[in-house]
Amino acid sequence: MLDKCRKHAPLQWLECCGAIFGDISELDSGIKFLELLSIVDATIDIENIGPTNRFQAIENSLCAIHSSLPQHFLVPWNDTQKAGSQLTLATMSVLVLSALFVRAASPNAKHSVDPVMALEGKVQEEIKELLQIVTSPEYDVITSLRNHLQVQSDDESPIMTKKRPKCGKDQSFTFSPCTPRFPLKRISPLQAPPTLLRNKDQQIKKLRMQLSSEEMRVMDLEKELTDIRASAAKSSKEIASLKIEVSRLRSSQHSSSDLDEEVERLRSRISFLNKEVHHYQSIAKDYDDMICENVSLKAMVEGQLELQCDIEQLKTSLSEMGAEKLALETQVDELFQLQGALEAKLDEKNKEVDALRDLCSSKSSPKILQSPNFPGAPVKAADSFFVELCCVELEETKSAATESQKKKSPDGTSIQRFIRKRFHKD
């Protein structure tokens, strides 16, 4: 059965670590143990551990932290075993809290031991006894803790509750995980029979063993005190060196202000140079664009020059064609004049022919002749020679006009067509 007085120390210890509850039986879920062990063991992930595997994970983690623990030291229990489960929960609490305390006492610890040192002196003494049992390599840790936490018999009470002598000026809570600790009360792994406890020799033997353990504890405390004093001297030296460093830094702070001003000036200068560089880059870009535009304009000018040469050639050819047109117009005018003269002459000839025909028709002639140039036209015998002579002259005139028109103008065909039409009409 769990001792009510000794149960108070683990409960106070758990409250220092943030676990607040009314009774130790409330820890039977194992979640709080996993939360505390996750501070020490980073491999524990509470979300991935099921309810059935919680105590197995706690057992594995405690075996990894405390090398003196045996494998599979936890025995499953149920809700009907309240006494045994409370004792087991108290044992697990001490193991978990001792692991957390040892890690907090290390130099690179993130957890602090100050809350434990703020507890009452009696509770601190009880916690020190529990830590000594856990860190002792000579005894069965599980059995020693269970015997220490459970209710003792009346025969054991004078020995177990014997007042312990205090060690001089040692009134603070100190613990060194590197030095092996021995329990203040030597507890056998197996409970001794009551008949042997009544024996005075055994009582004296136990008292002597307790005295020797106390002497060893005093030696350890003195050694720890020496180490603390050495560390305090070292710390004071470090503080003095840090003060010197602080004074040096303060003196260099003034020079750093000048350096800051220089840095600001350089930054402004760099920003100005960057603006200048951007400006010159824009100018270079504009110059390149101007060169490209000049090249395109040069090509355009060359094309315009070629077009100007073509225009000049066209103008020259146009002027030549204009002169040729004027010459042709002059020839056409001459031809029209010639055509008019020929038409006037043709009209005169036609009138002569008409007059001859009238003359021939006025005279009677027994024989009707036919002109070779005008078949079907009746000609009288007396006038046939004269008519033939006029026709020959008319044909010569027409042929001469046709040849001259073909040489001077392409419009001679129209004149020839007009002459033929008029001649056939006549």
What DSSP line would sit under 214-265, residue for residue?
HHHHHHHHHHHHHHHHHHHHHHHHHHHHHHHHHHHHHHHHHHHHHHHHHHHH
Identify whether 137 is part of a domain. yes
Domain ranges, residue 173: 4-188
- Reported pTM: 0.33
C-alpha distances in Å from residue 225, one per residue of 127, 165, 215, 218, 418: 20, 18, 15, 10, 156
Contact between residue 121 and residue 176 where contact means Cβ atoms under 8 Å apart: no
CA dist., res. 275 & res. 273, Å (int): 5
Identify whether 260 is part of a domain. no
CA dist., res. 173 & res. 13, Å (int): 13
Identify whether 97 is part of a domain. yes
Domain boundary among 188, 211, 232: 188
Contact between residue 2 and residue 90 where contact means Cβ atoms under 8 Å apart: yes
Helix (H, G, I), strand (E, B) or coil at 370: strand
CA dist., res. 84 & res. 24, Å (int): 12
The helix (H) or strand (E) run that includes residue 148 is: helix 141-149
Identify whether 395 is part of a domain. yes
- Would the CA dihedral through 145, 36, 9, 166 be positive or negative? positive
Identify whether 248 is part of a domain. no
Identify whether 415 is part of a domain. yes
Identify whether 106 is part of a domain. yes
Domain boundary among 135, 159, 188: 188
Closest CA to 57 of 39, 78, 30: 30
Closest CA to 332 of 258, 415, 274: 415
Domain boundary among 134, 154, 188: 188
Q: What is the pLDDT along the chain (426 residues), one digit of tens a residue?
A: 555 556 566 776 766 666 665 566 667 777 777 777 777 777 777 777 777 777 788 877 777 777 767 766 665 444 434 444 677 777 777 777 777 777 665 555 555 556 666 676 777 777 777 777 777 665 577 777 777 777 544 334 333 333 344 444 444 444 444 444 444 444 444 444 444 445 666 667 778 788 888 888 888 888 888 889 888 888 888 888 888 888 888 877 777 777 778 888 888 889 899 999 998 888 988 888 889 988 999 999 999 999 999 999 999 999 999 889 899 989 888 888 988 888 888 888 888 888 888 887 876 444 444 445 445 555 444 455 566 666 677 777 777 767 766 655 545 555 555 555 544 544
CA dist., res. 226 & res. 349, Å (int): 170
Question: In the chain, how many domains are there?
Answer: 2
